[in-house]
Structure 1
């Protein structure tokens, strides 16, 4: 039977698309400066993916009496706690942030630049995209209330959608303090976390004291990143020390000191390891940092593959957009799904393996909606320097050309 024209066109088109993708990846790879440490970008990408998938898998919105309330599968299925161990990757993000910030500040100063211009550029990259998400959710909240949605529902979805902003505030404070943190040993903020927990849990101190750890706890991996910049963590021994020491301390705190096994907050739980950070969360973060340091060389080798590197570069260019809008993607899917009724894995109580199975099926839908959000708002992350100037020049690579997007991905990932 002769092949139809449509089938022939489809068969011819697929290789063309794949060829173009390979060529684009090769251009990004060729345009990347040889001295760039691609492992840094790979670790940042893994940290962002961990946070996104973690939120999508352990955050549930239950339709209850016409309102939506937050829940978590970790509340009724505590044996799922290891899921939080895999996806609670903020410590790696802070470590990479500390490494990149201290390294870039040193580079700017070496070229005669000032702290003020360096900080202004970094704060703009952080907070310009925030303005967009705040504006959208201010309008959405007003529309929901005027449309008759209950205050409980609006409070729940807005709180979850904007919950990533606490992280940015802490990260911004640490970034601004980078000149004073360049030489700080991570042992000092770790000692603060230890003493805060001793007073809070061991001596019956006030619960508000735990919020001191909001800065001190994340300062620990941030200063680990600074130590990386100083060249103090190049030996595999440093990575193994952090990995094994952090894991042993975490196990002891969870097994004998009564700390929760989950490394993320669980609605209704008496104590959260993350809100604010506890000694267990910080020790676990150090173990993750140790593992990340040990994986650097393997990641560098993996990033020599143009397709992998192009994907990592693209994700790094959109890191803020993905981080800020991933919860909105889940909220939008959940709210829209209500028109079809109470859907399993989306509006039902997360109390069994059937919910887990359904939630895994919803993850690609969340990703697709996040793609729509990215298309609408990623321009806020690029900023004016991405729309012109050096980053948008056309650079020749061997016999081909590297387009503006390829150069941006290579230089700014």
Structure 2
């Protein structure tokens, strides 16, 4: 993997916006570390107990501001998707085959995760493991699917949303932010059910659109733009949380009446504007640093397995908890205490080791997807486009169903069989379209 990353780094085109790749790598690492730090575990005669540290340690909640970097991930995703789509269309490709290529890169590592969880759950069942414990383990390991549902949705909507961006520019994310505010109002002030659920899509679309504007220069990387943007976003964030009705924590946890991520709120959008301003502000310095072979090779290596890192990082927790706490290697400590904080060092180190092993085993599937080629002849026509949409809808619905399934026991493979079948059907349809209507060529 190291040799491959070095080769990819050496072949990087000089015009590539390397700062975007750096930000993507930083964002995913921050998400992984943040999730690991947010977990507390105890073990006694009743078995394993635990939860989110934010629920029991209030002083930790402001620390979620630097660790909640999903807005940054959607921002750089918008930049990368806009650049990729425009380049693809310029070479004569179609929106349909672009979506097929993008979906393949996301779904191959996802399929690997689901297959791995199914095999692990079935094996644990055959070995006599408690079904309830299997259910909890699979549920924990599949938590990353929440994010994937939203990200696949915005990726698939990139062609029409980018066309809208070409016409209306920054008015699009502004309107989307207003709609997020309306959703907050109906949900929090008027207690209207379900309307605010649209924010799961509207908020992330708004951040994704900012990435479009950054890519084509409508949101320039100048200090005169970046500094006011950062200050305005941070000021709004403080006012909305410290003074306003939104919680300080940018990560939701059980028992919190209002959560900033479920669904996303105006406060989370304020954080997104702050992060976007910082991203613009640091662009030149980031690009200069990425001209150095060493750091750039590391960033290339992380990005080559970025979905694997994200999708498997909670599986590392599922393995690490019984290995450390079940064997009493890791002593119990009061969450938030000095000893607990000190023990975060070996906890992170052990989970990082497990994740590195998982990536070494499963990362090759993502790398193969990344090296796969897009259609040589553009996929055109109503039928392949309709089949592509149908396949994507099936995949998103299945992943949402899996994310909502909860921690109960769902049968021998640990996952709801109906949702797995729907996911497999959607992936099969997308594969059929690629094989039937596309000939491979390098993208």
TM over 0.5: yes
Is the counterpart of residue 367 in structure 1 residue 347 in structure 2? Answer: no
Which residue of 222, 238, 260 maps to 1:273?
260
How far off is 1:48 after superposition?
0.7
Q: 1:262-281: per-residue Cα shift (whole Å, max 9, x none)?
A: 11112222222112212111
What CA distance in whole angstroms lies between the structure 1 residues aligned with 2:373 and 2:259? 45
CA-CA distance at 1:387 after TM superposition: 7.3
* 1:176 matched residue in structure 2: 156
Indicate the residue corresponding to 1:249 in structure 2.
236
Alignment of 1:7-406 (within 5 A): 29-63=9-43, 66-145=46-125, 147=127, 149-182=129-162, 183=165, 185-206=172-193, 208-234=194-220, 235-341=222-328, 343-344=330-331, 350-383=335-368, 386=371
Cα deviation, 1:361-383, whole Å, max 9, x if unaligned, reads: 21111111111101110111022
The CA distance in 2 between the partners of 1:205 and 1:130, in whole Å, is 35
1:27 deviates by: 5.9
Partner SS, residue 330 of structure 1: helix
Tell me the TM-score normalized by structure 2.
Answer: 0.77
Residues 186 and 196, structure 2, Cα contact 8 Å, conserved in 1: no
Query: Is the CA contact (8 Å cut-off) linking 2:180 and 2:266 kept in structure 1?
Result: yes
Identify which range, 278-287 or 54-63, moves more after superposition.
Answer: 54-63
Please state how far the C-alpha of 1:196 moved relative to its aligned partner.
0.7
Which sits farther off after the overlay, 90-99 or 184-193?
Answer: 184-193
Bigger Rg over Cα: 1
Cα deviation code 1:225-258 (max 9, x no counterpart)? 0111221111323322331121111111112223
- Is the contact made by 2:105 and 2:369 (CA closer than 8 Å) also made in structure 1? no
Paired residues of 1:68 and 1:156 also in contact (CA < 8 A): no
Which stretch shifts more, 317-326 or 80-89? 80-89
Q: Which runs of 5+ in 1 are unaligned?
A: 1-20, 390-410
TM-superposed CA distance for 1:152, in Å, is: 4.7
Between the aligned partners of 1:252 and 1:67, the Cα distance in structure 2 is: 42
Q: 1:105 to 1:29 in 2, by over 3 A?
A: closer
- CA RMSD, Structure 1 to Structure 2 (Å): 2.5
For residues 191-212 of structure 1, the C-alpha deviation after alignment (integer angstroms, 9 at most, x for no partner) is 1110111111122322x33321
Separation of aligned partners in 1, 2:10 and 2:357: 29
1:133-181 Cα deviation digits (max 9, x unpaired): 1111123234445555455533333222111112112111111111121
C-alpha distance in structure 2 between counterparts of 1:284 and 1:114, whole Å: 35
Count of residues in Structure 1 that have an aligned counterpart in Structure 2? 367
What residue is the counterpart of 2:414 in the other structure? none
Partner Cα distance (2:267, 2:134) in 1: 33
